[in-house]
Amino acid sequence: MVLESLLSPFKAEQRPSRLLFLGAFFCSVAIVLSLWIFKSQASLIMVFLTAMAALPLIYNTIKMEEEKDLQGMEEKWLLKEHAKALKAFVYLFIGATVMFAFWYVVLSSDTVTALFQTQTTTINAINSKVTGNLSFTGNMAFFSKVFLNNIKVLIFCILFSFVYGSGAIFILMWNASVIGTAIGNFVRTELAKAASMIGFDKIAHYFQVISMGLFRYSLHGIPEILAYFVGGLAGGIIGIAVIKHDFGTTKFEHILLDSADLLLLSLGILFVAALLEVFVTPIIF
**9 in a structural domain:** no
Dmax over Cα atoms in the chain, in whole Å?
A: 68
Q: pLDDT category, 177, cuts 50, 70, 90?
A: very high
In this predicted model, what pLDDT tens digit does every residue of 107-136 receive, in sequence order? Answer: 988 899 899 999 988 887 766 555 455 556
Q: What is the C-alpha end-to-end distance of the chain, expressed in Å?
A: 44
**197 in a structural domain:** no
- For the chain, what is the domain count? 1
In this predicted model, what pLDDT tens digit does every residue of 33-49 receive, in sequence order? Answer: 999 998 888 999 999 99
Q: For residue 279, give its domain range.
A: 15-126+134-187+213-284
**87 in a structural domain:** yes
Residue 28 near residue 203, CB atoms below 8 Å: no
Q: What is the pLDDT of residue 167?
A: 74
Burial of 79 (0-12, 13-18, 19+ CB in 10 A): middle
- Residue 212 corresponds to which amino acid? M
> Does this model's pTM top 0.85?
no
**6 in a structural domain:** no
Q: What is the pLDDT of residue 205?
A: 55
User: What are the φ/ψ torsions at residue 17 (nearest 5 degrees)?
Assistant: -60, -25
In this predicted model, what pLDDT tens digit does every residue of 183-216 receive, in sequence order? Answer: 888 888 777 776 666 555 555 555 565 666 666 7
In this predicted model, what pLDDT tens digit does every residue of 225-244 receive, in sequence order? Answer: 889 989 988 888 888 777 76
Cα–chain center distance at 248: 33
Q: What is the pLDDT of residue 40?
A: 85
Q: What is the pLDDT of residue 81?
A: 85
**111 in a structural domain:** yes
**150 in a structural domain:** yes
Instruction: Classify the C-alpha dihedral 245-251-257-258 as positive or negative.
Output: negative
